[in-house]
Every structure is written in structure tokens, then in C-alpha cells.
């Protein structure tokens, strides 16, 4: 089906483990984004990408790594998970940048 999907939808992991969150879109949008959402902070940009192989840091990139080898995929990796990374993670895509379409989110808990 067309759209933007994220996997897994829920994840529990332990401190220090590596975790990868997947994001896939079928619109061939050029721009893709990763946000985290915590109570009281709204949405904070982690990383974004303007095209395949082009990525840049957002507001809160520390502890995260991204790649974009294909236009449709934009995985986010937590290299060594910490409790402060417990959050809801949203991936978004956009053709223009200013109208973003969000995936359903991944609820990550780090114990």
C-alpha cells in the first residue's frame, strides 16, 4: 500500500544496546525526517535528508546515526541506547519539505 510506514511500532530494549528504527515511504518523496516526541517538548528534529546519500543533523542528533542509500528508506540507529532516548519516534517524508507526511510512530522504551 502507498504511504509511509515505520517498524517496529513498539520496542523495549536495554541500556547500551544498538537499536535500528525503520522508515519506508512509497511516494518517492525527496525529503525525509526523523523526530522524537516527548511530553512538553513537542516534536524535535533528529536528522533529515534531502535526497539519497544526503543527510544532515537536526536539533538533537547526539547518539543517533542515519543513512539513506535508497530514496524510499531512512533508517535511524541508536548506537548505544540510553534511558534518555525513551521516546516516541516519528518519521516523515515530503516532496516540498513544508508539507510533511508522518508515519505512525515507534514507541521506544529503554530500560
What are the residues binding other proteins (CB under 8 A)? 31, 33, 35, 40-45, 48-50, 56-59, 90, 92, 97-105
Supply the minimum distance, in Å, between the C-beta of residue 13 and other proteins. Answer: 21
The SS3 assignment for 56 reads strand
Supply the minimum distance, in Å, between the C-beta of residue 1 and other proteins. Answer: 16
Alpha carbon distance 101, 93 (integer Å): 5
CA-based nearest residue to 68, from 13, 106, 101, 22 = 22
Q: What is the β-pairing status of strands 106-110 and 10-13?
A: parallel
Supply the minimum distance, in Å, between the C-beta of residue 77 and other proteins. Answer: 19
With respect to other proteins, which residue has the nearer C-beta, 40 or 84?
40
With respect to other proteins, which residue has the nearer C-beta, 80 or 109?
109
User: Residue 102 belongs to what H/E stretch?
Assistant: strand 101-102
Supply the minimum distance, in Å, between the C-beta of residue 74 and other proteins. Answer: 12
| Structure-block grid coordinates of residue 110 | 529503554
With respect to other proteins, which residue has the nearer C-beta, 9 or 17?
9
Q: Which residue carries 534511558 as its cell? A: 83
Amino acid at each position: 500500500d502507498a504511504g509511509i510506514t515505520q517498524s517496529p511500532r513498539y520496542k523495549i530494549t536495554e541500556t547500551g544496546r544498538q537499536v535500528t528504527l525503520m522508515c519506508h515511504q512509497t511516494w518517492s518523496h525527496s525529503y525525509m525526517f526523523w523526530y522524537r516526541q516527548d511530553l512538553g517538548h513537542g516534536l524535535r528534529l533528529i536528522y533529515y535528508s534531502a535526497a539519497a546519500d544526503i543527510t544532515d543533523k537536526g536539533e538533537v542528533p547526539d547518539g543517533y546515526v542515519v543513512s539513506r542509500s535508497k530514496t524510499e528508506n531512512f533508517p535511524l540507529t541508536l548506537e548505544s541506547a540510553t534511558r534518555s532516548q525513551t521516546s516516541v519516534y516519528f518519521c516523515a517524508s515530503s516532496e516540498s519539505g513544508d508539507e510533511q507526511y508522518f508515519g505512525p510512530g515507534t514507541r521506544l522504551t529503554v530500560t
